Structure 1
């Protein structure tokens, strides 16, 4: 039984390598406070951890599928 992956790795990889927006063209409306910076950092870390866990689950499912086919 094949399971559809939750994350499309090919699409994610394409998005990871897209050109970055030039920060010089966009000014901040106001300087970020230390609390805002920490909050943003925690959010990014949370998103990265969620993505890592999703990939680990997918890898585990793929291993389970391979074991069932044998």
Structure 2
């Protein structure tokens, strides 16, 4: 059980780092479709990942299908 949790966190951190490398220069408003494209997954799965990432620095939901990335903290 602990192993599965560690694997899941590692996978989430890899995807977070992928977003960080793409959107790290300044504040971005990004559509869910753009995020799904960056993460190479469906929009539905991208939304699920973003909900899990909300506790991480720089990820916050905006209106509708937009998310704001502000990694320059």
The alignment's TM-score, normalised by the length of structure 2, stands at 0.33
Q: Give the structure with the larger helix fraction.
A: 1
Q: Quick one: higher RCO (CA 8 Å, sep 6+), 1 or 2?
A: 1
The alignment's TM-score, normalised by the length of structure 1, stands at 0.34
